[in-house]
Chain A
Amino acid sequence: MTTVATAKKPRLAVFKFASCDGCQLQLLDAEGQLRAIADQVEIDHFLEARSRSLPGPYDIGLVEGSISTPADIPRILEIRRQCRFLVTIGACATSGGIQALRNWGQVDEFLGAVYATPAYVQSLEKSTAIADHVPVDFELRGCPIDTRQLVELVSAVVVGRRPRVPTYSVCVECKMRGTVCVAVARGIACLGPVTQAGCDALCPAHDRECFGCFGPSQQPNLVSLNGFYERQGASRERLGRLVQSFNAWSPEFHAEHDRLAGGPDTEADR
């Protein structure tokens, strides 16, 4: 874990790539703790919050969004050079985001269908994660990220300790809240058992399945889980759509989508 503890206050910068700005807004959403954060770090580049922008290098760089246009690539390389500790924030930056659904299609076709003058639009074939282009020091998952995890990350980085960000499944959060399992008690196909915690199991607490906003958990066994859901009557189409959302291009969800869509079935002798 890189330490950025210095005599002076660490300098923080926030950058945006292809994204909705929702993850940056989670920093502003920290309302009650914003002053405490500002006491600990100098916010030197955060266009969503202030027009003043000071040049790098920065101690902490928070990067939102995916790499989606040719201009993004030299820009992220330069940002990496300018930031000692680079953190991706959110599903777009960490796995390519909802816009990575285009990765299964032809970009030229989309451009022709959507824009009057497609020639004006510069777009890469695929929307990809920041870590596909530069080394990343830490990932904050989520769509959007969780404000408590963001505050924890800043607190930890400032003093040079490891952030307390769990890597276990959403199920652990459901059980700790006392939420009744929607998969077991209602037969709803839920991604909780294969999704990393961080949201405090928000959707199951409101009678909905987990949609996988925080991406795959460690060693996710999607083949077993979806095999069970299929035997309970869920269609492969529905299960494929469930993994093909905010983190569709994460390697684990991507492979599972393609398996459900007719790729090789590795669920031998089950």
Chain B
Amino acid sequence: MPDSSSIPGDWRWLDADGLQILIDLLRGRGFRVVGPRIADGAIVIGDIDSAAQLPTGWLDDQDGGSYRLRQDKAAGTFDHVVGPHSLKNFLFPARETLQHWTRDDRGWHDTTPAEPPRPLAVIGVRGCDLAALAIQDRVFLGGDHVDPAYKARRERLFLLAVNCRRAAATCFCHSMGCGPAAGPGFDLALTETDGRFAVETGSEAGAALLAELAARGSPVTPAEILDEAAIEQVRDIPRRLGREMHARRAEPGRPVPRSLDTDGIRDLLFSNLEHPRWQQVADRCLSCANCTLVCPTCFCSSVSDVADLSGDHASRERQWASCFTLEHSQMHGGNARPTVASRYRQWLTHKLAGWIDQFGSSGCTGCGRCITWCPVGIDLTAEVAAIREAPTP
């Protein structure tokens, strides 16, 4: 009989059927389960009720302004990397009603829906996105002003992470210290090897779920415990990828990932605010805002009070905003950042430099989404490298 007690730090084996049982257990506990799914030519994060919906055998080729899926018989379930969606789409949704008020004969009444959000379990979260979640936590939960809607969703979140064993050409998590190994911050983390998964327990909630799985004692799901040697072998899978990324090497047939030299990056950028490169990137930049919207840490929003025609229903609506739009820097008397060059500079210097002063870490996790989903393939790692190569005196 498998041991049914499980604690954070435990490792167990899980086969493909075991993954399905995990999904079933989460659903049985009332979680909405989402994870990687193929839709509209990409691997997005969508609702999952069967492990068969996961993109087993699919890979994503990514580069500046380009994303293509292809089938590969040798590919596992999680050998793709991050797609256009991130945890942000779920924890900080694009549109949200913060308050709703209704007027009748007796005056105004708060009719904001009060029910707590449905618990959410996310399958396939990568190291870069766990790091991004930690950054968004600091923004929305840190300091004196806690965002109650974000907090309610965050408290009902279960994270089934994945350790990467492949990187796309746009990945540079190793430069930012956010991957390719996942964690901390997960409930359970999977490492795929030889058609099965090694599961690391990261939290009490993860341990409880794994204990329930082990207690089932299903013959196809022994959920046996890994010994020290096996754990070390499994741990070395993302480490090996990390070493390759640092060495700027890749296995045959795989792209060399990007990298970003972060040495003294705050001072580098702040001392090059008038560098000619800002105008050169502005000549290519569309100021379309895609980079900020796919960024898993960008948190800007705009809030509007809206009323219907009768004036009896009013609500306070929040939606994503972007520093690339003119509207974002429009103030009484004029626009603070009227040129594309000034807006690109604002974004990049905030993300990679000002963020360090503001939140104690970089705002970039090296996920590469802003490179892939820029319609003209602008690459922040190349922009920083260009400034580093020829800084203004």
Q: How far is the CB of B35 from chain A (nearest CB, A)?
A: 15
B231: min CB distance to chain A, Å: 37
Could you tell me the distance between the alpha carbons of A260 and B376 in the complex, rounded to whole angstroms? 18
Q: A163-198 CB contact bits vs B (8 Å, 1 = yes)?
A: 010111101100111111111111100101110000
Q: Are B308 and A184 in contact, CB atoms less than 8 angstroms apart?
A: no
B64-106 contact mask (Cβ, 8 Å, vs A): 1 or 0:
0111100000000000000011000100001100000000000
Known: A37-B309, A164-B304, A207-B40. A178 touches B286 (CB 8 A): no
User: Contact flags (1/0) for B24-39 with A, using CB distance below 8 Å?
Assistant: 0000000000000001
Residues of A contacting B310 in the complex (Cβ-Cβ under 8 angstroms): 36, 39
Q: Complex Cα distance A39/B312, Å?
A: 13
Interface pair A176/B94, CB less than 8 Å apart? yes
B125 CB to nearest chain A CB (Å): 17
Determine if B325 and A184 form an interchain contact, defined as CB atoms under 8 angstroms apart.
Answer: no
Closest to B68 in A: A185
Is A270 interfacial (CB-CB < 8 Å)?
A: yes
B327 in contact (CB, < 8 A): yes
B376 touches A225 (CB 8 A): yes
Closest Cβ neighbor of A152 among chain B residues: B306
Instruction: Count contacts on A: residues with CB < 8 A to the other chain.
Output: 45
Interface contact B287-A175, CB-CB below 8 Å:
no
Docked complex Cα distance between A224 and B281 (Å): 10
Chain B residue nearest to A177 in the complex (CB): B94
In the complex with contacts A167-B325, A221-B285, A225-B286, A181-B375 CB distance below 8 A: yes
Do residues A181 and B326 form an inter-chain contact, with CB atoms below 8 A? no
| B336 in the interface (beta carbon within 8 A) | no
Q: Which residues of B contact A (CB under 8 A)?
A: 39-42, 44, 65-68, 84-85, 89, 94-95, 283-290, 293-294, 304, 306-310, 319-320, 322, 325-327, 340, 372-373, 375-377
In the complex, 12 of the A-B residue pairs with CB atoms within 8 angstroms, ordered by the A residue number, are A168-B289, A168-B325, A169-B287, A172-B288, A172-B322, A177-B94, A180-B44, A181-B84, A184-B67, A185-B40, A193-B286, A221-B286
Given contacts A36-B309, A164-B306, A181-B290, 18 further A-B contacts (CB under 8 A): A40-B309, A158-B309, A168-B289, A169-B287, A175-B293, A175-B294, A178-B94, A185-B42, A185-B67, A193-B288, A193-B290, A207-B40, A221-B285, A224-B283, A225-B375, A225-B376, A228-B65, A228-B376
